[in-house]
Amino acid sequence: MIRFRAADQRFAAALLCILAVAALLRGLFPAADPPTNPTSGIVWHDEGAWVHNARNKALFGAWSLDAWNPMYIAPVFTGLEYLSFRTFGVGVRQARLAPEVLGLLSVLLLALGVRRIAGSGAGLIAAALLATNYPYVMWNRAALMEGPMIAFLVASWY
């Protein structure tokens, strides 16, 4: 039987609480529109344009049905969106699921990575900051490729 130190158990419990808050912020009202006047200078653009090819494949069986093909610009994102559509159906909530899940993964991996180089306290602070960072939460709530892109950057750093 593996025994964990009390410090490891406290870190895990605190990290689970942070992840629960992160999941709540990303998952609450998933079909709500992003803010129209963000203070951070973010320009929200069309989510539908980026999930276009995944939707085509899920609904019509072909990736490309017209001349608009963002799958060539963002193939990994398109593939993740297709998996979500194939598994749960086509819709706004399903399109936003992949960025939400990858956003949670990035919070977890950032906490573990920072813990490795700077200690448990720093890892928890980093996780709490990323979990509640308003622009990052909004990117994770939108079916756009920026949130998943950052999640993959964090994963590669970890």
Residue 52, domain member (yes or no):
yes
Q: Taking each helix axis from N to C terminus, what angle separates 75-88 and 146-157, rounded to the nearest 10 degrees?
A: 110
Residue 23 lies in a domain: yes
In degrees rounded to 5, what are phi and psi of residue 21? -65, -45
Give domain status of residue 1, yes or no.
no
- In which domain, by residue range, is 100 found? 6-27+46-157
The one-letter amino acid at 137: V
Residue 82: partners with Cβ closer than 8 Å, 6 or more residues away: 53, 54, 57, 58
Task: Answer whether residue 125 is part of any domain.
Answer: yes
DSSP H/E element including 51: none
In a domain? residue 35:
no
Amino acid letter at 143? A
Compute the radius of gyration of the chain from its Cα atoms: 17
Domain count, the chain: 1
Does residue 103 lie within any of the structural domains? yes
In a domain, 39, yes or no: no
The answer to the question of residue 37 being in a domain is: no
pLDDT by position in tens, the chain (length 158): 566 687 888 999 999 999 999 999 999 988 887 777 766 666 667 888 889 999 999 999 999 999 888 899 999 999 999 999 999 999 999 999 999 999 999 999 999 999 999 999 999 999 999 999 988 998 899 899 888 999 999 999 88
